Amino acid sequence: MAVEWSGLTPEIMLRLDRAAAGTLGAQLQESLRAAIRSGRLGGGERLPSSRKLAADLGVSRGLVQGTYEQLAAEGYLTATAGGTTRVAQAIRQSAPDQPPAAPKADRGIDFAPGRPDLNSFPMRDWLWACNEVARTASRVEIGYSDGAGSPRLRAVLASYAQRVRAASVDARDVVVCAGFTQGVALTLRVLAEQRTRIVAVEDPGHPEMAMQVGRAGLEVAPVPVDGHGLVVDALCRTSATAVILTPAHQTPTGVVLAPARRQELLRWAEERDGVIIEDDYDSEFRYDRQPVGALQGLAPDRVVLIGSVSKPLGPGLRLGWVLAPARLAPAIAVEKHRSDRGSPGLDQLALARLIESGRYDAHLRRMRRAYAAKRVALTEALRQHAPHLRLTGLEAGFHAVAELADGVDEAAVVAAAEQRSVRLHGMRRYRAHGGATGRAAIVFGFGDLNEHAIRAGIGAIADLLHD
pLDDT for 38: 85
Q: What number is the average pLDDT over the span 257-271?
A: 96
Name the pTM for this structure: 0.80
Say if residue 3's pLDDT is above 60: no
Where are the alpha helices (H) located in 113-242, listed in sequence order?
Answer: 123-136, 151-165, 180-193, 207-215, 232-236
DSSP codes, 82-135: GG-EEE-TT---PPPP-PPPPPPPP-SEE--TT---GGG--HHHHHHHHHHHHH
230 and 308 housed in the same domain: yes
- Residue ending a domain, among 336, 357, 378, is 357
77 forms bridges with which residues in the sheet?
87
Residue type, 178: A
308 forms bridges with which residues in the sheet?
320
Say if residue 1's pLDDT is above 60: no
d(CA 333, CA 173): 9
203 and 138 housed in the same domain: yes
pLDDT for 102: 45
189 and 55 housed in the same domain: no
d(CA 223, CA 229): 10
d(CA 417, CA 442): 12
Q: Which residue has the higher pLDDT, 112 or 3?
A: 112
349 and 368 housed in the same domain: no
pLDDT grade for 333, boundaries at 50, 70 and 90: very high
Long-range contacts of 432-438 (CB under 8 A, 24+ apart): 432/201, 432/203, 432/204, 432/210, 432/220, 432/222, 433/222, 438/204
pLDDT for 447: 93
Question: What does the mean pLDDT of the chain come to?
Answer: 89
pLDDT grade for 393, boundaries at 50, 70 and 90: confident
210 and 285 housed in the same domain: yes
Range of the domain at 380: 109-114+362-465
Residue type, 137: A
- Burial (CB count within 10 angstroms: exposed 0-12, middle 13-18, buried 19+), residue 62: exposed
Dihedral sign from CA coordinates of 354, 360, 363, 367 = positive
| CATH code for position 366 | 3.90.1150.10
